[in-house]
Structure formats: structure tokens, C-alpha cells
Amino acid sequence: MKKVGVAILGLGVVGGGAYSILSSHRDFYMKAHGLDITVEAVLELKRERALSLGIEERKIASSIEEICSNPEVDIVIESMGGVEPARSFSLAVMSAGKSVVTSNKELYCKYGYELEKAAKHNHVGLFYEATCAGGVPVVRALLDNLEGNRITSFIGIINGTTNYILTKMTNEGKSYKEVLAEAQRLGYAEADPETDVEGYDAAYKLSILSSLCFHTKIPFADIHREGITKISSADILCGKRLGYVIKLLAIGKDGEKGIEVRVHPAFIRTAHPLASVGDSYNAVYITGDSVEDVMLYGRGAGALPTGSAIVGDVIYCATHPQHRYSPFENTENASPATKFVTNFESAYYLRLVAEDRAGELSKITAILGKYGISVAQVIQGPAAGGAQAGKADLVVITHVTREENVNKAVSAINRDLQTEVASVIRVVE
């Protein structure tokens, strides 16, 4: 029986979930894996929180130095969140010869290169399954199971808060502000929800996952990011009429012209497998050149789902003494050889509030045509709740075109016509 001592930094939702799983499953892990995994120390400012979980007072450390010097600790779980002191603490325990398992997507996204360098130098492991998509095992799938493939594309719903908000808006017809307030009351959204609703969280995760997919460093700074704060009930209603549902998508593609990585709201067909992913669930849709399409689905957040990912990494670390690191050169910035595509190709949904008079539609389509944009579909009439007096709502779905063409056409319409482009949303077919 191999004895494995664990320390946990931070006993919030995720750290507490990991502790609960490790405590309740100890006998099972002995039988299934031949591992006696025990929590030997915790670092938690709120001592009452540790005591309420049943942790012995003698195991509550008062400093990171106590964790570093504890000979019973082999693996340290970092579940503090934020960059500091999580970064400094992780570097300290690795210098002390202890492997690190982290759930901290911002830390790993921004400083994974530094953590991995320290892990290699000290011959310890660095594991991060829990940084992306909660309990969905996408990191391990990309590191191990799909390594025989060249991954050509990745599309994911990887933020539970925004997916919950958009699902409620779609199903109940409520406004963004109404659903956000409800999500905050229920604990699905933070008091300051910016990290989630403006797409930062999803972009952190996409940086990590696209680097694994495409075997090259994809820094956070190179990801195009938009949030969901401008999505309206009118857009959602129009999407329904057209057979679409709206999601905050994390998209990565590796093509002949380079790599494109973007986080933004998008309409997808109701028949697409990702369309049925609701509430706080996450899913990733991966395409490989040999395996073709693979979809992984599950709880994207929460104490036990994310704790499950953490504990899975602890067991993997304990049973794989030969540590592996990133299958690409993990540096702070992208390789000079990596080309990024920023002028994306997509179909687009445009909702316009136009003068309700003959010829206005033809003027709009003429401007679109000037910039090489062809129209696939037009719906005329009030989108939701009736149009303004003397105004008409027009919804245009374009054929696939370039991002720059759409931006130029929208500017021209707003400048030259008595028409407001109220919404521009990409359509992923």
C-alpha cells in the first residue's frame, strides 16, 4: 500500500469539495488503486471553516512554510483562486519537492510557463485538469486519449455562469439584468460578475485548451474576447424564430492560414449537439483528423464536480512517478512561428432598427453588397414587444463573410442611413 500525503491550500467551495471526496473515498482508493491518500495539512485563514469540515486542529497550518517543511506532504492542492499568493505558494512548495495540483485557471493561464519551469527544475508534477470545465475531463483527453490526432477545431461551452444566464433568458424570456440578479441570489454568479459575463473566465480556459489542442502556446492576450452583456431578449426571440439558440462559445481553429481563437456569443442551430447544453453544464466539441468529432459533457462547476477533477489528478500523480509536461514549448508568449487569424470568417446575424418606408431594405442590402456581404435570409417585423413608431425591425442573416467586411458595413449603415444596427452576432453553422 502506497501512502500519499496531501495538503490543501484554500478550503473554499473547490478545496472543500476535494477534501470531502478524499475523506469519504479513502477506503475505496485503497482497494481500487492501492493508495492510502490522507490530508496531512491545510492552509486556510478561516480556521473555523477547517474545523467545521472535521479537520484536526493540528493539521491547520499557519504559513506556507509549514506546508513546505512537512515531510508527510507529497502533493499540494492549490484551490485559492487569483494570482497571488497562489503563484508564490505554488512555486514555494515545488521548490520543496512537492507536486502541485491546481484548479486555478487564471494562474495557470497567465503563469503556467513559470510553474512548469519550476516543476521541471525540481522534478515534480504539475497537474491542472480542474482549471477547465469543472468535472469534464477535457485536459486529460487532450493530453492522453487524443494525442494520436491533429486537432483541427475546438468549440466549447466552458463557463457555467453565462450558460445559466443565457439558458434562463431563452427559456423564460427574461432580460439579462433580471437573470443576472437571480443568478447572484442563487450563488451562480459573483457579486462582481465581470470575469464571467465579459468572457475572461472562458478566455483563460480557451488559452489553456487551445495550447493543448494545437501544440503551441496560445497566450490569453491573443484571444479575441466578447461577453454576453449586450445580448437582448429581442435577439433571443429572433434566434428562436430562425431555428437558433445563443451560447457563449470558446472557439479554436487550426487552418492553413493560421490559428484563430475567440470567445463570444454566437447563434448555433438547435440541432447542434451543443445547443442542448443548458444551465451550468459545460461541453466541448473537438474535431480531430482521425477520430473526427468527439463531445465531452458534464457539470462545469461546483464543489464535487471540480473536486472530482482535482482528486483525479492527485491519483494520476501518485500512480505515474515519471512526470510529463506540456507537449509544446510552454513559454510566456506565442512562438514567432505561430500565425494568428484575426479577420475571422463567419455568417452573421444583424438586427437593425430601420425607417419603416419603402426602399430602406434595398439601401441596406446595397451597402452590404458593397462590402462583399451576401444575404442568406431576411425577416421583417418587430422582434419583441413591438417596434418604435415609424420604425421596423429587420433581421438579416448573411452568408459566410469576413469580420472586417461586417465591421465596415455596419459603420457605413450607422453613418449613411436612418438605421441603427442594434445587434451583431456571429452564426456558427
**How far is residue 238 from each of residues 171, 346, 347, 398, 418, measured CA to CA in Å?**
13, 19, 16, 15, 22
Q: What is the largest CA-CA distance in the chain?
A: 82
Positive or negative CA dihedral for 273, 276, 279, 281?
Answer: negative
Positive or negative CA dihedral for 307, 310, 312, 318?
Answer: negative
Q: By the 8 A CB rule, do 225 and 342 touch? A: no
For the chain, domains (ranges, CATH) are 2-131 (3.40.50.720), 138-300 (3.30.360.10), 345-428 (3.30.70.260)
Q: Phi/psi class of residue 12: alpha, beta or left (left: φ > 0; alpha: ψ in -120 to 50)?
A: beta
Determine which helix (DSSP H) or strand (DSSP E) holds 204, and give its type and residue range.
helix 200-214
pLDDT at 385: 44
Please report, to the nearest 10 degrees, the dihedral formed by the alpha carbons of residues 415, 417, 419, 425 taken in order.
-60
Cell reading at 154:
475546438
Tens of each residue's pLDDT in the chain, 429 residues: 999 999 999 999 999 999 999 999 999 999 999 999 999 999 999 999 999 999 999 999 999 999 999 999 999 999 999 999 999 999 999 999 999 999 999 999 999 999 999 999 999 999 999 999 999 999 999 999 999 999 999 999 999 999 999 999 999 999 999 999 998 988 788 889 999 999 999 999 999 999 999 999 999 999 999 999 999 999 999 999 999 999 999 999 999 999 999 999 999 999 999 999 999 899 999 999 999 999 999 999 889 999 999 999 999 999 999 999 999 999 999 999 999 999 999 999 999 988 777 778 889 999 999 999 999 999 875 544 455 666 778 899 999 999 999 999 999 999 998 889 999 999 998
C-alpha span between 346 and 103 (Å, rounded):
33
DSSP 8-state secondary structure symbol assigned to residue 399? P
Tell which residue, 266, 6, 41, has the closest CA to residue 157: 266
Instruction: Say which residues have a Cβ less than 8 Å from residue 1's Cβ, sequence separation at least 6.
Output: 30, 34, 35, 36
The strand pair at 420-428 and 258-269 is best described as: parallel
DSSP 8-state secondary structure symbol assigned to residue 340? B
Evaluate if pTM is beyond 0.85. Answer: yes
Cell reading at 187:
450563488
Q: By the 8 A CB rule, do 211 and 118 touch? A: no
Identify any residues that bridge with 296 across adjacent strands, giving them in sequence order: 284
Is 117 marked active-site? no
pLDDT at 429: 81
**How far is residue 409 from each of residues 332, 379, 405, measured CA to CA in Å?**
37, 19, 6
pLDDT at 261: 98
Ranges of H-type helices in 25-85 = 26-33, 47-52, 64-69
C-alpha span between 264 and 245 (Å, rounded):
14
pLDDT at 383: 46
Identify any residues that bridge with 6 across adjacent strands, giving them in sequence order: 39, 75
Please, what is the angle between helix 26-33 and helix 303-319, to 10°? 40
C-alpha span between 236 and 248 (Å, rounded):
13
User: From the candidates 98, 105, 205, 391, which is the catalytic residue?
Assistant: 205
pLDDT at 386: 52
**How far is residue 284 from each of residues 87, 141, 180, 368, measured CA to CA in Å?**
28, 11, 24, 34
Q: By the 8 A CB rule, do 131 and 103 touch? A: yes
pLDDT at 388: 64
First-to-last C-alpha distance (Å) of the chain: 52
b vs e for 163-198, b when ≥16 Cβ sit within 10 Å of the residue's Cβ?
Answer: bbbbbbbbeeebebeebbebbeeeebbeeebebbbb
pLDDT at 389: 62
Strand ranges (E), 165-204: none
Cell reading at 253:
481553429
Q: By the 8 A CB rule, do 21 and 304 touch? A: yes
